[in-house]
């Protein structure tokens, strides 16, 4: 999967709509301290489904919304869109998400209303977005996204945490989620079958 474009509006210091095209090859972002370089990486992790406000340097998730300055009022929403391209055979078509081609994932948060996700303009669940990125061996916790302090966290990680990182890098993290779902469905079906047996026994 290749990330082609990032669009931000009202996200942290990016109060005005901003668009970044990411061309093939190496992309560097340079700027003075505090200009928003880390906010860009956080926007990528956020649109991929990051659920921890703390890991985005905030106390609550609404802290990603532009908080205002002495000269500009705060915003009521933040929105980030990431345009990605999957090559044929690279992905799995699921829950309205196509298997290949250009896929635009959007996350929007409104004050008091929480987050919502869209893929190519259609509403999807947070879980679908998480699976989409997990299948592509990336996601909000991907070891490919190295934020400040991450290196020392990797060095200090427990063996189980390192295993999780390796599984995410290998693109198999989504399989665990699907297995859990399948097991839940199996248990629900077994309960239904038991109930049907009881009803049949009552009728005999
Ligand atoms: P450094 O080079 O020092 O690491 P940086 O370029 O990575 O800096 P960031 O940490 O991305 O900069 O950006 C910090 C800036 O973002 C600060 O000026 C901070 O006030 C601003 N900022 C963070 N959250 C919000 C918010 N919700 N609303 C408005 N501004 C915000």
pLDDT tens digits along 128-140: 888 888 877 777 7
pLDDT at 192: 96
Band (pLDDT 50/70/90 cuts) for residue 148 is: confident
pLDDT at 91: 67
- pLDDT by residue (tens digit) across 78-127? 999 999 998 777 767 676 677 778 899 999 999 999 899 999 999 999 98
Q: Which atom of ligand 1 is nearest to the CA of 148?
A: 4
**All domains of the chain in start order, with CATH:** 2-140 (3.40.50.300)
Other Cβ atoms within 10 Å of 124 Cβ, number: 20
Instruction: Name residues contacting ligand 1 (CB within 6 A).
Output: 12-13, 31, 33-39, 63, 65-67
Mean pLDDT on 149-158: 84
Nearest CA to ligand 1 atom 23: 12
pLDDT at 184: 94
pLDDT at 95: 64
Non-local CB neighbours of 86 within 8 Å, separated by 6+ positions: 1, 99, 100, 101, 103, 136
* Ligand 1 center–CA 39 separation, angstroms: 6
ipTM above 0.90, yes or no: yes
Other Cβ atoms within 10 Å of 94 Cβ, number: 15
Start-end of H helices in the chain: 37-47, 126-135, 150-156, 159-170, 173-203
Judge whether 82 and 108 are in contact, CB under 8 Å: no
* Ligand 1 center–CA 110 separation, angstroms: 20
pLDDT at 8: 97
Q: Is the pLDDT of residue 153 over 90?
A: no
Q: Would you list which residues are annotated within the binding site for ATP?
A: 32-39
HSE-CB for 70 with a 13 A CA cutoff: 0
Q: What is the pTM of this model?
A: 0.81
Mean pLDDT on 41-51: 93
* Ligand 1 center–CA 106 separation, angstroms: 22
pLDDT at 155: 87
Band (pLDDT 50/70/90 cuts) for residue 6 is: very high
pLDDT at 98: 75
Question: Cα–Cα distance between 58 and 188 in angstroms, integer?
Answer: 38
Average pLDDT, the chain: 89
3-state secondary structure of 22: coil
* Ligand 1 center–CA 156 separation, angstroms: 27
Non-local CB neighbours of 66 within 8 Å, separated by 6+ positions: 10, 11, 12, 13, 14, 15, 72, 74, 75, 78
């Amino acid at each position: 999967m290749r990330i082609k474009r990032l669009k931000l509006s009202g996200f942290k210091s990016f109060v005005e709509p901003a668009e970044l095209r990411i061309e093939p090859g190496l992309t560097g972002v340079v700027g003075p301290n505090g200009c928003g370089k880390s906010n860009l990486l956080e926007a990528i992790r956020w649109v991929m489904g990051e659920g921890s406000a703390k890991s985005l340097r905030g106390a609550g998730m609404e802290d990603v919304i532009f908080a205002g300055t002495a000269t500009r009022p705060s915003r009521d929403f933040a929105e980030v869109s990431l345009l990605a391209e999957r090559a044929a055979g690279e992905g799995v078509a699921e829950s309205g998400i196509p298997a290949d081609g250009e896929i635009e994932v959007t996350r929007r948060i409104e004050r008091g209303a929480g987050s919502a996700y869209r893929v190519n303009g259609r509403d999807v669940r947070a879980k679908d977005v998480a699976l989409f990125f997990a299948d592509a061996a990336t996601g909000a916790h991907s070891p490919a996204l190295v934020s400040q302090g991450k290196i020392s966290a990797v060095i200090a990680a427990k063996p189980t945490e390192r295993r999780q990182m390796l599984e995410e890098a290998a693109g198999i993290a989504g399989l665990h989620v699907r297995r859990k779902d399948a097991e839940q469905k199996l248990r629900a079906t077994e309960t239904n079958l038991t109930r049907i047996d009881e009803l049949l026994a009552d009728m005999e």
